[in-house]
Amino acid sequence: MNNSDLHERAVRRGGILTRADLDAAGLSSGAVQRALVSGRITRLRHGAYTTPQLIASIGDDRWRRHALDVRAALAAAGPDAVASGPSAAALHGLDMFGDVPNLPIVVRPAELMGKGRVSATTRARVARLPDSHVVRVDGWPATSVARTLVDIARWREERVVVVAGDSALRVGLDPAELDSAAADCARAPWIRKARRALALCDGRAESPLESLTRLALLRGGFGTPELQYVIGRFRVDFCWPRTRAILEVDGKVKYQEPDDLFTEKRREDWLRAQGYQVHRAVWDDVVPSAEPLYEILRPIADLAA
């Protein structure tokens, strides 16, 4: 089997080649060792391999690399293991904020009566997992999006919850599923904290920066602006209609073409001509501290709710 065939097989399996996959491809133990030495395949952990092309395609995306490591952990952990928390979020492709787990996080059903443990390569714990809380993502077992968010909200800070929750709602998670998953975990530790954080999520946010900005505005006492507010033929990120104030947040990919800046300037000029104050914030105004954002907005009279 040539390199292209191996890579295509890995892609179909979410980037992972198990020993069984390599056997099916006709590679004996000796052939596997030769493929490792020659660089045709790369070992991720015992029994789990990938291709150099696939690793190169991930680049410096930390969460995509974590998703690959999670699949490798599941391949080695056996049929009862399920990706959980941030590791499940990585498989689902949710937007995430903050540090990537240093180890894949998996759970096993509590009915197995085992105990959680940390190995050199995986963080494993036990949890009660109703059938409705377990799904397959491209063939790999993970907690459902709703259960994943509940677990993240129990253990992680608000900013992580809001970024992931907004992302999930934006791509179609039914809020009723989230409520149901939280109800199923009513006796779990920190569930009240989780419910409070999940109540802040809003699928109208179009990026992690918008999610973080909305939370910063709330915590900074700037009220609850209208999101994705339509003015004429334009839509703005945040608007306080009573004070005719607008806040736009600019991510790194917002202006990709040479004409984008010119188009945006004409848009902003039109909004100002309608009597709106237009203010802008970038990532560094919101993270790690929102004080620069608050300084941008303080001159706006009567903005606070």
Q: What is the pLDDT of residues 109-120, one digit of tens each?
A: 765 545 555 566
Q: Taking the domains of the chain in order of start, what are their residue ranges?
A: 3-58, 62-198, 208-297
The answer to whether residue 302 scores a pLDDT higher than 60 is no
- Assess whether pLDDT exceeds 60 at residue 304: no
Q: DSSP secondary structure string, 221-269? A: T---PEEEEEETTEEEEEEEGGGTEEEEEE-TTS--SHHHHHHHHHHHH
Q: How many CA atoms lie within 13 A of 134 on its CB side?
A: 17
Confidence check: pLDDT of 3 > 80: no
Q: Per-residue pLDDT tens for 253-284?
A: 455 566 777 888 899 999 999 999 999 999 99
Pair 193, 160: CB distance under 8 Å: no
pLDDT value for 305: 46
- Summarised one tens digit per residue, pLDDT across range 79-122 is 899 999 999 999 999 999 999 999 999 998 765 545 555 566 88
Q: What distances in angstroms separate CA 168 from CA 45, 175, 186, 206, one per listed residue?
A: 30, 10, 21, 11
pLDDT at 69 over 80: yes
- pLDDT tens-digit map of 195-248: 999 999 999 999 999 999 999 999 998 888 999 999 999 999 999 999 999 999
Q: What is the mean pLDDT of residues 125-146?
A: 94
CB–CB of 56/10 below 8 Å? no
Mean pLDDT of 159-188: 97
pLDDT above 90 (res 250): no
Mean pLDDT of 17-34: 91
Report the CATH fold assignment for 208-297: Endonuclease; Chain A (3.40.960)
Q: What SS3 state is found at 85?
A: helix
| Pairing mode of beta strands 42-45, 277-282 | unpaired
d(CA 17, CA 104): 17
Region 27-34: mean pLDDT is: 92
Residues facing 235 on adjacent strands = 230
Residue that the structure tokens 């609850």 belong to = 224
Q: What is the pLDDT of residue 78?
A: 82
Per residue in 39-56, pLDDT (tens digit) is 999 999 999 999 999 999
